[in-house]
Structure 1
Amino acid sequence: MRRRSLVAAAVATALVVTGCNRGSGDGGSGGSSAPIVVGSTLSLTGAFAATGQIHKIAGEEFVERLNAAGGLLGRKVEWKVLDDQSDQAKVSQLYERLISQDKVDLILGPYATPNILSAMAVAQRHGYILPQHSAVLAPQLTYECQFPAWSIGPTPNSFIPNQLFDALASLPTPPKTVAVLTSQSGSAAFVSDGFGSDKAGALSIAKERGITVVADVHYPPTTTDWAPIATQVRDANPDLVINNGLGVDAVNILQAMKQLNYRPKQMFGLFPAPGPLLALGDLSDGMLSVSMFEPNKPILDKLGAQATEITTRFTEKAKAANLPYTVFETQATASWNAWEILTGAVKATGGTDQQKLCDSLHANGVDTTFSGHLTFDPKSFNFWPTTQTLKQIQKGDWVVVWPADKAAAPLAARRP
């Protein structure tokens, strides 16, 4: 029964960007007129669906632009997407189907680290390269032919806190005390606690930099009552609140603090849903987070007309799909990078031979629209030198504020 339900769900959610059925799988153009088929799963339903839809829209736009420009190796590209329903247990079965039954020519990773790890195991077993959008914890990604489209370097648990503290140190009054609120999700906790034998993280780095940790709260991802956490922060009254959390965690914390008539002096959220924070209005003003890219005008002006066209078209498609947040930012950028990694390797090798694709990316890297030239070193788990910035909510919009040479606006001190 479970197998029948899985197959039905997969078939029902398959998306075909062109009208053809499958690629030739001949390892190159070979004079074939059949499309090159790219297979992947996305979380189109379930807990990760809001973010999965972002990757779906970005991917559809990329394939449309690619085919309008003549496709790949003179052939149209077809993207076959199956809904993994935000369920890690389904991911490996679906990637097995894409490779073994559907005989796709190429694959892309799904969304969310646990799902990516499952897909990676299948890709490694079959010898496929796996460009992936959003897994950033480098030591977990040991397959030498997985290629990250979002890099926070090989030690993100150190990089993220140090980047944040460096930025805040530039303010007239840097923080002296901090409260660290950590989701026990594997996608966030490493930034507070480190990973494996590397114990560096926000907690240890704050102490090393002379910042006193006045509250250290770890909470389960299933938390629904945020009042106790808000009360603990209010009583500690730190200069800075760090929420190493996901989704709407930061929104829930801010709202719970508001119920106590308390407002944090400065707050950072690791991987928040950007739209719900903006919807809080003045309550979230000054909020900080990480970013790969924000379509701020000074940044778009540097990148040129193509970047503006891509981001504008994405917003149009996102509005048509009724997405709650329609701006082309970090998740969409990671998706775009993944597609450019995949297609760049195919163009460089003139075919779809997986080992040649992997070797080419290691030897030559790839050019991307939003992150520049990427290089991949297996010794660093293929994580390229990070281009990550910090963004801040200012006057109802997210703007890049750090580092200064990439900023669209100066970093602002949040008022108490």
Structure 2
Amino acid sequence: MRRRSFTALATVVALSVAVAGCNRGGDEAGDSDPIVVGSTLSLTGAFAATGAIHKVAGEEFVDRLNAAGGLLGRKVEWKVVDDQSDQSKVSQLYERLISQDKVDLLMGPYATPNILSAMAVAQRHGYVLPQHTAVLAPQLTYECQFPAWSIGPTPNSFIPNQLFDAVATLNPAPKKIAVLTSQSGSAAFVSDGFGDDKAGVLSIAKERGLDVAVNVHYPPTTTDWAPIATQVRDANPDLVIDNGLGVDAVNILTAMKQLNYTPRKMFALFPAPGPLLAAGAQAEGMLSVSMFEPNQATLAKLPPEATEIVNDFTKRATAAKLPYTVFETQATASWNAWQILTEGVKAVNGTDQKKICDALHEKGVDTTFSGHLTFDPKDHNFWPTTQTLKQIQNGDWVTVWPADKAAAPIK
């Protein structure tokens, strides 16, 4: 097996920066060495719980790919490095993967800040970068980054409108809302808009005649949730919207429970799904965004391979002792990203980065869980969204909106 040097000379690196990505590869079908995909993931640190999901999904994909003959007749090897949930480390690690480890292909990391750092390196070297989870399209300007999760080119408008359309069908429909917003860049745009585009939950609620009774922005480092819970309880809104991350919604529910208060209806933007289910009756009826939930009604519409993937993931996630072992949005985004990468390679019969990028723009890609994806650089490659809303019903996440994709009606 050919060994990739960890000590490439600086002069060679400097000369190769402009051409490394564009000219690597070509027709490599006769090469017996593995095709190496390099990436970082947050395997430790604040993002580790979600990073572990992407690791299990990626390992499953590569194993299935190699069992089917690999890529271009060659085994695929995934070299994944722990970025420790530290954005400052990501650029250095991707530089090493490209310039020293000489990887053939790249896969993006988890979390928007890390993806932006990786994207800058990929652009500098001319590499294609599929990425799972950065959805704020205006930030992702590199024409050869390909999103595996799309909420369209203006997610700050799409998410509120989808939510308000859904809850408007309830009887009675919400009239008074509370908006709680993490100041994280991965969430605040849904409340406040982004850049010159000020559309978001707050402005769209006003346009729809909703009364915003509570409007709180909280730092991601918040540990005392009692003041926020008290404001919500005192306002007693019809709908609480938490545009937050991870376990924010669980912390808010816990603080509310200590006040003997349960919200009538609540939405959590990008939550950790397992902890919310573990919150029990307090979280019943919780709404959130989704790309895919393995509800039987949904799986029945997909080829048998989808059920095999879902079941295998659960086995692997259980063995890895993940707290939530269901193949849902994060795993789906990961699967899409790997399909974008490998189908691009197949389309050009090689690993030439420019050819892969052009082929994806020209042909798009078929995915198992999100259908055919098309990539338009004018929209930063963000394809027409397939996002749905899910709800906790009887202790399980169920797709409830839009109606034509729902496994159960919204409650």
Shared fold per TM-score greater than 0.5 = yes
Equivalent position of 1:102 in the other structure: 101
Q: For each residue in 1:222-258, what CA deviation from the matched residue of structure 2 results, as whole angstroms up to 9, or x when unmatched?
A: 0000000000001111110000000000000001001
Equivalent position of 2:325 in the other structure: 326
Q: CA deviation at 1:318?
A: 0.3
Alignment-mate amino acid for residue 368 of structure 2: T
Equivalent position of 1:277 in the other structure: 276
Q: For each residue in 1:57-100, what CA deviation from the matched residue of structure 2 results, as whole angstroms up to 9, or x when unmatched?
A: 00000000000000000001000000000000000000000000
| Alignment map for 1:295-314 (pairs within 5 Å) | 295-314=294-313
- Please give the secondary structure, in 1, of the residue aligned with 2:60: helix
Work out the CA distance in 2 between the residues paired with 1:28 and 1:403.
44
Q: CA deviation at 1:163?
A: 0.1
Q: For each residue in 1:374-398, what CA deviation from the matched residue of structure 2 results, as whole angstroms up to 9, or x when unmatched?
A: 0000000100000000000000100
8 Å Cα contact 2:29/2:72 also seen in 1:
no
Work out the CA distance in 1 between the residues paired with 2:279 and 2:358.
47
Q: Does residue 264 of structure 2 align to residue 265 of structure 1?
A: yes
Q: For each residue in 1:348-400, what CA deviation from the matched residue of structure 2 results, as whole angstroms up to 9, or x when unmatched?
A: 11110000000000000000000000000000010000000000000010000
Work out the CA distance in 2 between the residues paired with 1:97 and 1:73.
25
Q: For each residue in 1:261-315, what CA deviation from the matched residue of structure 2 results, as whole angstroms up to 9, or x when unmatched?
A: 1111100000000000000111100000000000000100101210000000000
Equivalent position of 2:201 in the other structure: 202
Alignment-mate amino acid for residue 266 of structure 1: K
Q: Compute the TM-score of the two structures, normalised by the length of structure 1.
A: 0.93
8 Å Cα contact 1:367/1:374 also seen in 2:
yes
Equivalent position of 2:387 in the other structure: 388
| Alignment map for 1:2-401 (pairs within 5 Å) | 26-401=25-400
- Please give the secondary structure, in 1, of the residue aligned with 2:85: coil
Work out the CA distance in 1 between the residues paired with 2:270 and 2:385.
16
Q: CA deviation at 1:157?
A: 0.3
Q: CA deviation at 1:28?
A: 2.9
After superposing on structure 2, the runs of 4+ consecutive aligned residues of structure 1 that deviate more than 4 Å are none
Q: For each residue in 1:26-58, what CA deviation from the matched residue of structure 2 results, as whole angstroms up to 9, or x when unmatched?
A: 433241110100000000000000000000000
Q: For each residue in 1:86-123, what CA deviation from the matched residue of structure 2 results, as whole angstroms up to 9, or x when unmatched?
A: 00000000000000000000001000000000000000
8 Å Cα contact 2:150/2:386 also seen in 1:
yes
Q: CA deviation at 1:172?
A: 1.7
Number of paired residues? 390
8 Å Cα contact 1:29/1:74 also seen in 2:
no
Work out the CA distance in 1 between the residues paired with 2:46 and 2:165.
34
Work out the CA distance in 2 between the residues paired with 1:99 and 1:303.
37
Q: For each residue in 1:141-161, what CA deviation from the matched residue of structure 2 results, as whole angstroms up to 9, or x when unmatched?
A: 000000000000000000000
8 Å Cα contact 1:36/1:75 also seen in 2:
yes
Alignment-mate amino acid for residue 411 of structure 1: I
8 Å Cα contact 2:29/2:349 also seen in 1:
no
8 Å Cα contact 1:149/1:338 also seen in 2:
yes
Equivalent position of 2:16 in the other structure: none
Work out the CA distance in 2 between the residues paired with 1:43 and 1:30.
33
Alignment-mate amino acid for residue 402 of structure 1: W
Task: Identify unmatched segments of 5+ residues in structure 2.
Answer: 1-5, 7-23
Q: CA deviation at 1:171?
A: 1.2
Q: CA deviation at 1:409?
A: 0.4
Q: For each residue in 1:170-210, what CA deviation from the matched residue of structure 2 results, as whole angstroms up to 9, or x when unmatched?
A: 11211001000000000000000000000000000001001
8 Å Cα contact 2:40/2:80 also seen in 1:
yes
Work out the CA distance in 2 between the residues paired with 1:288 and 1:334.
19
Percent pairwise identity: 81
Q: For each residue in 1:308-350, what CA deviation from the matched residue of structure 2 results, as whole angstroms up to 9, or x when unmatched?
A: 0000000000000110000000000000000000000001111
Work out the CA distance in 1 between the residues paired with 2:26 and 2:50.
32
Q: CA deviation at 1:404?
A: 0.3
8 Å Cα contact 1:244/1:270 also seen in 2:
yes
Work out the CA distance in 1 between the residues paired with 2:200 and 2:29.
51
- Please give the secondary structure, in 2, of the residue aligned with 1:302: coil
Q: Compute the TM-score of the two structures, normalised by the length of structure 2.
A: 0.94
8 Å Cα contact 1:29/1:75 also seen in 2:
no
Work out the CA distance in 1 between the residues paired with 2:228 and 2:26.
55
8 Å Cα contact 2:29/2:73 also seen in 1:
no
- Please give the secondary structure, in 2, of the residue aligned with 1:303: coil
Equivalent position of 1:20 in the other structure: none
Task: Identify unmatched segments of 5+ residues in structure 1.
Answer: 1-6, 8-24
8 Å Cα contact 1:131/1:342 also seen in 2:
yes
Work out the CA distance in 2 between the residues paired with 1:28 and 1:34.
13
Work out the CA distance in 1 between the residues paired with 2:258 and 2:181.
21
